Amino acid sequence: MESLTLSDVEQKYYSDLFVYCDVDNTKKVASNGKVLDLFRAAQLSNDVVLQITELCGATRLGHFGRSQFYIALKLIALAQSGLPLRVESLNSVKDLPLPRFVVGKNEQESRHTAMYPDTENQGPYSSVIPRPPGRVPAKKLSTHEVIQPCVSAVEPQPDTTSPVVSPHQSPPTSPHAWRKHKRQASGGAVDRPPAVAGAAWPPFREAQPGTHSGDGMWASHSPPPVQESWVSFTDTPPSSTLPAVHPSSAQESTTVRTVASAATTNEIQRQASGYEDPWKITDEQRQYYINQFKTIQPDLTGFIPGSAAKEFFTKSKLPILELSHIWELSDFDKDGALTLDEFCAAFHLVVARKNGYDLPEKLPESLMPKLIDLDDSAGVPESAPEVGFSSSPVEVTPNKSPSMPSLNQNWPELNQSNEQWETFSERSSSSQTLTQFDSNIAPADPDTAIVHPVPIRMTPSKIHMQEMELKRTASDHTHPTSPLMAKPPELSEEKKLAAIKFPGSTVGDGYSSSDSFTSDQEPISSAVTRQRSHSGTSPEGLKAVAPPPPPPRPHASHSRSSSLDMNRNFTAVAAGQQAGVVAFPPAVPPRPLPTQTSVPHGHRPVDGDGLPAHSSTSPQQMPEQPNFADFSQFQVFAVEQPVDDGDTQQDGGQVEKGVDAAGAVRATKNDTQAEERTPATVNSAKGSTPLAPPPKPVRRRLKSEDELRPDVEDHPQKSSVVPGVLATQASIPRSIGKDKKAIQASIRRNKETNTVLARLNSELQQQLKDLLEERISLEVQLEQLRPFSHL
Amino acid sequence: MAVCVAVIAKENYPLYIRSVPTQNELKFHYTVHTSLDVVEEKVSAVGKALPDQRELYLGLLYPTEDYKVYGYVTNSKVKFVIVVDSSNTSLRDNEIRSMFRKLHSSFTDVMCNPFYNPGDTIQSKSFDSIVSAMMVQSS
């Protein structure tokens, strides 16, 4: 770059100008509209300006660096002095007056008048730039005409130098709120810029600080909104006070933004890149919008009331209908006020419309307010008061509130996040914020397994059952339902079931209690019974099953979570037995337990079955549930075989045996049948079931299902169903292994029985609950009476 | 499934009226106009009570052999009238109510638009789209 020596005055002046133009503080004034305006304000012909631009090297660089800028200024001074533009003369000419930049006010008027007849401008433009159809007329300032010469002058230039390019920098951010926004020649066609650029200039002239009448003139440029050209609001603010800029320079800035041809190149290129998203707001634009926003509402997190926004946008001279449409698009939360994002979107749309782009039907993604959201919740209440005054029809406001709730329903349709709506004002949150809503449905962790009915797949495989059995016996506490596990201590305290001691029952206790009664202090009996049923199944089943993907959901018949838990337990129990889902609640502590003091402790909880009682009560229960007997055979989990296979039950190792399984199952079932079912029945059932230990996995499955179901059932009638099922299933046993179809049939049957049993289970659960309540009340009475007894 | 939707201002002039174009629009305009009397009657009947107690949804204003007319009035005495074709499977009351609710909410959105002057005809595209949705679904 040519060296340039400046006098002090010049230095100062130029630096002021540079600062003025360097709005973005980038130390380089890229084809800044300001620069162009400035140059234009120098009242030099366009070609001179272009020449200057070239000379100063901006063409080469594509932007005005400080030095280029200074050189340009110097050249301007030269030109204004009438001296030929020579690089050499930069330093040679002494006493060069400072470049003068004039804001031609009179030009404004002329421009105003000329503005409207757009057509004339279009003529010349069309040759240069294909105007978008439907360009809003009357937006062009008359300056277009002025520009035309520029355009023509510009044309010859290499396309790259799009004169227009309007200033990349946002217009002076000074409180000129209404500063003319320079229109950027949006990239699209390089050839466009010239025309656009031309158009940009004039408007800027109008921004005479202090003098302007504030006639909102919008220069609309045709450049595709791709690059969002700036709309210039010719506006009132005489208050526009250029920041710290020489008054003269202030004028310049507002006036000429001649395109520095070179400078524009970059812009054009940049703009072109924006094509992907035609509605994207560039940073400069956004910055400009923000500044405008500030002028209306200093608080960036605040809102612009509708009335103020109305005035603002009316200045754009767009038809009210279109403004109304723009408002509808941009007021995301429909609160009658504009947040910063909404305002930017609205402004952007206005700019686009001024450029001749049709308004979209829906708000484009990139314009959607993003940050609405939870952060706004603080802002939302603030908006509430604003809403009041923002909405024109006051009466509507109150209506709005009541109707707001209904709006919520609409919001999702609008792809707006509903977050805002949450805070009263029913502002629908932007779609982006929707995600924030996502209630993270935390996966049910084992500890809270009870709360979340996690369906557990009962793997019917025999191996599974075996595993479960083993596991159960081994480590009861591995039961996923930790709550259950937690229960054991409580349960153990239960007196009633005290008798029922299951070696491995701790787990079962845990299960039973937690399972069915969501950690209520279940009567031990129930717990115990459950234990039994669970013990074998739950730990094992659960262990085996829990990790795997959730099994089919427990039947809907389980109304209570507890019952669901129970289901889970049952499923666990029946894991090995059923292909089905029903997780039978761990053997509901059979009512009989209290009644049957002899609750079979005998139920060796070996398997962890909670059915110890069952065994003892089995005789009693057996008659009731003859069918259970069948199931018990299938009890995989060494539910303590109440009756017969006590031994088999006990050894966990016997899990493999179908009998064990049966017994376990039966026991489990019995358990579930809180009151009536006694292990006896189970036992008897088990005993009755002729099923030999041959634990055909299939059969076991079938049976377990059947057994479990009956367990759940309170009523013999149901159990009758079960037996039927069992019977059918029993008949199958042998064939299963052989015939695939048979297996499938058996599976089907099992599922049927599962459902039946599940239903039974739920009913039993209910009964159990009732009984437990009774028990509790009795205990309370007992407590009350105790002191007296001591007396 | 509205065949015609109308929004009538407090002063009983239409702010917005739209019918399924296939039919004779004039007939619907007339129907809506006459239904205003029924609305007034209903409003005044209930109006003795506090406005709070007055329900916005007026229900079936009157049925004819061809269609049914439902009414809804807001607290600001803006009336919504929906004409439904009887031949359509009769819509449940709830559906009509929800239609009115939607209308009301989009009406408030229009009102909130600072560029809308109360008393002007409603020219909002979003309002139009909502109404179209209501009419399209029916026919």
Full set of structural domains in chain B with CATH: 2-134 (3.30.450.70)
Is the CB of residue B76 less than 8 Å away from at least one CB of chain A? yes
Highest-confidence range of A104-113, A213-222, A668-677, B114-123, by mean pLDDT?
B114-123
How many percent of chain A have pLDDT more than 90? 5
Mutate to test the interface with B, among A316, A328, A397 (most CBs of B within 10 A): A328
Answer yes or no: do B124 and A325 touch at CB < 8 A: yes
Predicted confidence band of residue A550 (pLDDT cuts 50, 70, 90): low
The whole-number pLDDT of residue A750 equals 93
| pLDDT tens digits for range A44-100 | 677 777 777 777 665 566 666 777 777 777 777 777 777 766 666 666 655 666 666
Higher pLDDT, A651 or B16: B16
Torsion sign, CA atoms A689, A693, A694, A699: positive
Answer yes or no: do A392 and B118 touch at CB < 8 A: yes
Say which of A324, A391, A392 has its CB closest to residue B124.
A324
* A585, containing H or E segment: none
The whole-number pLDDT of residue A75 equals 74
Answer yes or no: do A307 and B114 touch at CB < 8 A: yes
Is-contact A521 A448, C-beta < 8 A? no
Taking CA B137 as the corner, what is the angle to CA B134 and CA B139, rounded to the nearest 5 degrees? 110
The whole-number pLDDT of residue A503 equals 44
Q: What residues are paired with B16 via a beta bridge? A: B7
Q: What residues are paired with A662 via a beta bridge? A: A633
Alpha-carbon gap: B79 to the closest alpha carbon of chain A (Å): 13
Torsion sign, CA atoms B130, B133, B136, B138: negative
Mutate to test the interface with A, among B108, B123, B130 (most CBs of A within 10 A): B108
Residue with structure tokens 């800035």?
A253
Q: Average pLDDT over chain B, rounded to whole?
A: 82
Residue with structure tokens 């049952």?
A570
The whole-number pLDDT of residue B111 equals 85
Residue A484 pLDDT more than 80?
no
Higher pLDDT, A162 or B124: B124
State how far the Cα of A536 lies from the Cα of A541, in Å rounded to an integer.
Answer: 7
Alpha-carbon gap: B70 to the closest alpha carbon of chain A (Å): 19
The whole-number pLDDT of residue A753 equals 93
How many percent of chain A have pLDDT more than 70? 24
Is the CB of residue B94 less than 8 Å away from at least one CB of chain A? no
Q: What is the pTM of this model?
A: 0.34
Predicted confidence band of residue A747 (pLDDT cuts 50, 70, 90): very high
Question: Which residues of chain A have a CB within 8 Å of the CB of B113?
Answer: 306, 324, 327-328, 331, 336
Highest-confidence range of A154-163, A257-266, A433-442, A750-759, by mean pLDDT?
A750-759
Is-contact A183 A229, C-beta < 8 A? yes
The whole-number pLDDT of residue A568 equals 52
Answer yes or no: do A396 and B123 touch at CB < 8 A: no
Answer yes or no: do B115 and A320 touch at CB < 8 A: yes
Is-contact A685 A666, C-beta < 8 A? yes
Joined tokens for residue A139: 């937006």
Joined tokens for residue A39: 């140059």
Cα distances from A617 to residues A127, A523, A702, A774, in angstroms, run: 103, 17, 24, 21
Joined tokens for residue A135: 């360009």
Residue A685 pLDDT more than 70?
no
Backbone angles phi, psi at B2, to 5 degrees: -80, 145
Architecture of the A283-355 domain: Orthogonal Bundle (1.10)
Please compute the mean of the pLDDT values over residues A29-56 and round it to a whole number: 68
Number of helices and strands in chain B (H, E): 3, 5
Please compute the mean of the pLDDT values over residues A613-636 and round it to a whole number: 46
The whole-number pLDDT of residue A147 equals 39
Residue A745 pLDDT more than 70?
yes
Answer yes or no: do B111 and A310 touch at CB < 8 A: no
Q: What residues are paired with B7 via a beta bridge? A: B16, B80
The whole-number pLDDT of residue A767 equals 95
Please compute the mean of the pLDDT values over residues A461-489 and round it to a whole number: 50
Predicted confidence band of residue B39 (pLDDT cuts 50, 70, 90): confident
Q: Average pLDDT over chain A, rounded to whole?
A: 55
| pLDDT tens digits for range A290-346 | 888 888 777 777 888 878 888 888 887 888 888 888 888 887 777 778 888 888 888
Please compute the mean of the pLDDT values over residues A490-495 and round it to a whole number: 45
Please compute the mean of the pLDDT values over residues A582-597 and round it to a whole number: 48
| pLDDT tens digits for range A126-179 | 344 444 444 444 344 344 444 344 444 444 444 444 444 444 444 444 444 344
Q: Which CATH homologous superfamily contains domain A8-89?
A: EF-hand (1.10.238.10)
Is-contact A209 A108, C-beta < 8 A? no
Pairing of strands B67-73, B79-85: antiparallel
Residue with structure tokens 């993003």?
A370
Return residues 291-310 of A near B (CB < 8 Å): 305-307, 309-310
The whole-number pLDDT of residue A643 equals 44
Is the CB of residue B105 less than 8 Å away from at least one CB of chain A? yes
| Sequence ranges of the domains in chain A | 8-89, 283-355
Is the CB of residue A390 less than 8 Å away from at least one CB of chain B? yes
Provide CB contacts within 8 A for A510, sequence distance 6+: A476, A477, A479, A481, A482, A483, A484, A485, A486, A487, A488, A491, A531
Question: Helix or strand or coil: residue A177?
Answer: coil
Is-contact A621 A709, C-beta < 8 A? no
Answer yes or no: do B112 and A399 touch at CB < 8 A: no
Alpha-carbon gap: A394 to the closest alpha carbon of chain B (Å): 9
Closest to B3 (Cα-Cα) out of B86, B71, B61: B86
Answer yes or no: do A399 and B115 touch at CB < 8 A: no
Closest to A633 (Cα-Cα) out of A571, A584, A696: A696
Please compute the mean of the pLDDT values over residues A751-758 and round it to a whole number: 94
Is-contact A544 A571, C-beta < 8 A? no
